[in-house]
Amino acid sequence: MYGVGKRMRKSSDRDTRLQGALDAVDDAAFGVSPGVSPKDKFDVDRADGKIRAIELKALNQRFQQLDEHYSRAVAEIKASLRG
């Protein structure tokens, strides 16, 4: 037990309030409504993961294109400095 003002509260009350606050933050952060089942939360996370995977593949392809471009540019610059 811990004191708040003049009355005492049980630590389990505090834990319940903290858990409720954490759940509310989690729901707000991940766009899931309160009372949603764990399965539904998992489905949302999996859908987000698929979207991120697609975005990462696109970024990787863009990175490879830029890498090839810069490699060609460096090779041309080196060739022009030698000649």
pLDDT in tens, 42-60: 676 777 778 888 999 999 9
Assign 67 a pLDDT band (cuts: 50, 70, 90): very high
Same domain, residue pair 21 and 41: no
Q: What is the pLDDT of residue 70?
A: 96
- If one compares 80 and 7, the residue with the highest pLDDT of the two is 80
Same domain, residue pair 46 and 27: no
Same domain, residue pair 45 and 83: yes
Question: What is the DSSP secondary-structure string of 13-64?
Answer: HHHHHHHHHHHHHHHHHHT--TT--HHHHHHHHHHHHHHHHHHHHHHHHHHH
3-class DSSP state of 65: helix
Same domain, residue pair 49 and 79: yes
Same domain, residue pair 1 and 27: yes
Q: What's this model's pTM, rounded to 2 decimal places?
A: 0.42
Split into its structural domains, the chain has a count of: 2
Question: What angle (nearest 5°) sits at the alpha carbon of residue 48, between those of residues 32 and 24?
Answer: 20
Is residue 3's pLDDT more than 70? no
Same domain, residue pair 1 and 41: no
Sign of CA dihedral 54, 55, 60, 63: positive
Residue 62 tokens read as 């863009």
12: containing domain: 1-35
